[in-house]
Amino acid sequence: MMNCGYTIILDDMRLLKQENIPYEKMRNKTILVTGATGMLAAYVVHFCMYLNETEGYGIRVLALVRNKEKALEKFSKYENDSNFEFLVQDVCDEIRYDGRIDYIVHAAGNASPRYILDDPVGIIKANTIGTMNVMELARKNSGVRVVYTSTREVYGKMLDNVEAIEEDTFGCLDPMERRACYPESKRIAESILKSYYYQFGVESVVLRIAHSYGPGMIINNDGRVMADFISDVVNERNIVLKSTGDAVRAFCYITDAVSAMFLAMLNSPSGEAYNVANEREPKPIREVAQMLVRLFPERKLKVIFDIPEQMSLGYSKMGRTVLSTKKIEDLGWTPKVCLAEGMKKTVLSFAN
């Protein structure tokens, strides 16, 4: 985190702190974050350390990562902080920690279309074996609460016309479809969490997050629409659309997604699932691309159409899924960052 990127992340920490969330419950507690270098997970780490720095909360942060060198690129500032510790391992291996843990944010896993095509077994392992390992650790820590970052894709394809999908509305998934490794393993992960609650009383909450983006996202060779668009603008390339751009998406900026995670972790009954999406600005992806180009006129970029005969098998073909966010809004959440502001902050965060 340097210069412009650091300034934007610091501003986002201030935004999160202003939310009406009972952060004081984390004072002097220990939080384990799996997949800590991921976009959302890294912001959870940064914010806990920010509360330590600004409010003296004394939160102990355990960052579970597979590659310490890569992790230090994001967390070097905390390396010598007594309230920060790396757990260097694969989440698919047994997680050993002798100290007390109060909260676990389980965000390990990959959603990139590239990995869905190249490493579907790895995706399944992280979401199933990895989740079992997390829950086994939680079972050994009485009173721990687990937060799991799931996906809108667990709902599958709707068979009937549904105006907005609520948390108990489900369609169908084809387990033989090329992309099924991701939503099917996310579904079983949710079931694992609930089963540990029924059998062992382990508290958990699920966030089904749709199209989140922001500083820290992987933008090079990721394959998701927003990541590819941001990468083009950051690298001053024309945005090339591989479709007509008619598909409608609603994107949720990172601080809105992370505030939902903290709110659910600290203020939700156990065993609940919540949709997290910013459905206030649904737009065809060609308009998203055009908006990005307009936000940076000095780069003189264009939106170009180069439509192949066949769409990549790694992309979701479920179409537009409108999520109802009434349930988490009733908990006190509301999205705050508009699309233009969020995209501009994201691009600028990569400036250095």
pLDDT, tens digit (0-9, with 9 covering 90-100), for 150-191: 999 999 998 778 889 999 999 999 999 999 999 999 999 999
Distance between CA atoms of residues 15 and 338, nearest Å? 14
pLDDT band at 41 (very low <50, low <70, confident <90, very high): very high
What does residue 205 show for φ and ψ, rounded to 5 degrees? -145, 145
pLDDT at 222: 84
pLDDT band at 2 (very low <50, low <70, confident <90, very high): very low
pLDDT at 294: 96
pLDDT at 352: 61
With a CB cutoff of 8 Å and minimum separation 6, the contacts of 30 are: 59, 60, 61, 62, 99, 100, 101, 102, 103
Distance between CA atoms of residues 302 and 292, nearest Å? 10
pLDDT band at 316 (very low <50, low <70, confident <90, very high): low
Distance between CA atoms of residues 40 and 255, nearest Å? 9
pLDDT at 1: 40
pLDDT at 312: 55
Beta strands 212-213; 252-253: pairing state? parallel
pLDDT at 82: 97
Q: Is the pLDDT of residue 345 over 60?
A: yes
Looking at 140-253, list the stretches that DSSP marks H as alpha helix, in order from N- to C-terminal side: 181-200, 225-234
Q: Where are the domains of the chain?
A: 3-216+250-280+318-338
The helix/strand/coil state of 112 is coil
Tokens of 310: 């066949």
> Of 345, 255, 333, nearest to 15 (Cα)?
255
Please give the model's pTM, rounded to 2 decimal places: 0.93
Look up the CATH number of domain 3-216+250-280+318-338: 3.40.50.720
pLDDT at 158: 85
Q: Which tens digits make up the pLDDT trace of 52-71?
A: 999 999 999 999 999 999 99
pLDDT at 318: 52
Dihedral of the alpha carbons of 75, 76, 77, 81, in degrees to the nearest 10: 90
How deeply is 318 buried, as exposed, middle or buried, from its count of CB atoms within 10 A (0-12, 13-18, 19+)?
middle
HSE, side-chain direction, 13 A CA sphere, residue 104: 32
pLDDT band at 313 (very low <50, low <70, confident <90, very high): low
* Whether the Cβ atoms of residue 155 and residue 123 lie closer than 8 Å to each other: no
Angle (nearest 5°) at CA 192 between 207 and 188: 75
Tokens of 53: 């720095």
**What is the number of helices (H) and of strands (E) in the chain?**
11, 13
Which range has highest mean pLDDT (17-26, 219-228, 302-311)? Answer: 17-26
Q: Which tens digits make up the pLDDT trace of 255-296?
A: 999 999 999 999 999 999 999 999 999 999 999 999 999 999
